[in-house]
A and B are shown apart, each in its own frame.
Chain A
Amino acid sequence: MSINRYLQKYRSALILIIILILLPLFSSEYIKVVAMQIFIFGVFAISYDILLGYTGIASFGHAIFFGTGAYVSALMMLKAGFSFWATIPFVVVSCAGIGLVIGLLTLRFATIYFTIVTLALGQFCYFLLTNALTYQYTGGDDGLHGLPMVLQTKNQMYYLALAFLLAAFFIAKKIISSPLGKTLVAIRENEFRAKMIGYNVLNYRLIALVISGIMAGLAGSFNAAMLRSVFPGFMGASTTIDVILMTILGGMGSLLGPVAGAALVIICQQYLSSYFEWWLLIFGVIFVLVVLFLPQGLISIVYRFRKKNTSGGLN
């Protein structure tokens, strides 16, 4: 493809990226923080989309990975003096390991069983953090604070978070158009048929869970680095519900949708909550409206303009 055609095809994406690059130059500190949250939760939502939107696995414990990433980074930085970057390999290994264990225990059974077990495991991990026995390490309900700064200025952190989102998006895009990614969609569409054309469905689900877990773990550790604190809530059911909302509101099976969903949820959380006492009620109405009128999520507005269908999108 020539550069011109390339530019044409990705024009709107490029404009959006340029806006995001220029944003810190004319925005307040507060907007930067909100934007960083969106970038990081965008990655978290992308990771959930690989699982729910592409593979068709509904996990109710996705925050386990987010929390693990955050706590592994925080503990290693605070207690062992590691730099943020040096903790990354440990985050990857621990999240991959947890993904493997959870997957091997539960993925061979019906999906509803997986959903319930992940919910229980998520709660278990949350109590593990807030337990009196682990208090001296995890700080219990208070969490851990005063993580060393990864980069000197807020602007640098902003660009790091943006680069993280772009990299995660690019990698996820690569994965879903690969033979493995296409097989995940086939499993979502018809697990039995996928088996009967010779795919080892369990292996593919495991791989999906591990990839998704690693990505969610990295989002967690970036979140810890950005806030310079971790809280047990990172591991809690409300974090899982947030990521489910982001993915469904934005549009499952589209990668970009969940990022838009992350933006919507975080903007609602930040702004509605400061203007309205009953903001959750308003948020609930927004949620119902989106589900009723845009069942394929926010991203379907974009598709409506482009009149193009995505190969991976749910119909």
Chain B
Amino acid sequence: MAPATPHTSPIDFERIFHPKRIAIVGVSQEGLGFGAGIFVSLRLIGFEGEIFLVNPKGGDLNGEPIHRSVEEIPRAIDFAIIAVAARAVPEVLEACRLKGAAGAEIFSSGFKELGTAEGIALEEEIVRVAARGIRVIGPNCFGIYCPRSGLTVLPGPDLSRETGPVAFSSQSGGMAVDFANAGKSVGLKFSKVVSFGNGCDLRETELLDYFRDDPETGLVAMYIEGIRDGDAFFESLRRTTARKPVIVNKGGLSAAGRRAVQSHTASMGGSREIWQSILRQANAVQVGDMGEMVQACLAFSLLPRRTYHNITVLGGGGALGVAAADLAESFGVQIPAFEPDLAGRIDELLPKPGSSPGNPVDVANPFVPPKTLKAIMRLAAGDPRIDLQIFTSLLHHYKNMAMLTGRPIKAVTPYLELADDIHEVAAETGKPIVVILSNPKSGPDHLDVVDMFVDARRAFIERGIPVFAELRDALRAIGHLNAYYERKS
């Protein structure tokens, strides 16, 4: 593979991620192909820049004139989106370069991924054009999502315009789109999401280098299948983690033993073992799947940057005490028992019988008023050992109260008050509170409960409170945070 073009100035990246004028080459008037699809998506998400459409047939799309060639575009452009047939890509890319574009994303497929001589030759041609001075995302990708500029991936008309700290780069386009959507659902805010597909020019290392210095990016998440240059990637990773967290999901890890080797060392050093060690050596956070990556990003972006070794767990749910202690230990977190005096004061607030004032605090009754929970959390935060509190909600039980009183579940569930109280206690004590919203009532009979949970989640997220679906997810994410900040020098 030819090397990437050696230098890209920050100004070029600024024009790639925040372009003022873009060209979409390869829009069809019939149907929603990639070109027309991205045009509509950009309009729907509210991209404010100028868009120039190109198709040799001309005409117009939703009232927007279609130019017959890139050369016909009347102004210089910053960025191009290319969705023409593979064979036409090199020429179009060169025309975009001559039109002043700093970069282009190429949705088209039909290149190296085919493994054919023609596909490989075409991709090499793209690399040669890129080396003349236009940076390329793709080919065979879904492009860039940047909430601040309004660029969006294909298909991403419904992504958020709220900018935030999370940058994500992904070889897989589907993964990029899913991550952007999953992130939106749980309250992650993105600086940039890049699906780079075949990654013939810009890919993992170049993007990591950019994200390291990007003031919009507070943490980097990556989905990696293969990498171009192990040494360069490792160096970039190490330098980046010294400044901000990097969370890596490496796909396609194989056990050792594929290669013909003679030593124990080589036979045990499969990609699984080596990647795990390399990521640890560079102090990157390794996650096993997208769910874990979303959760880790949530913890890294919402919790203050430090370690959390001693926590409280308050609330209810099956076998809370035992389960919580076991789980916490496996992620290197402690749930220290309260001193008798503190336990006594908490006990005075708890409903009887069935509650337990130690740590975890089992409130036993799901209808304990937020006011009481607030007082308990305030007392528990007074234990100087405690770094963070986890509240495990039992909101689904309000369905029973709704049925008994004949009122809608949203009217009887005090989630807004709870969100306000939790926010207040966390702010006043300086000890973050994480909320577990798990809903066992999620079937077709309980769509009102599901709906209420959506609102409750939003209420917490809007107040900056991290919400996880399961206690295990939260503890694992906190474990990642601890591992990173402990080893960051």
Is B truly associated with A?
Answer: no
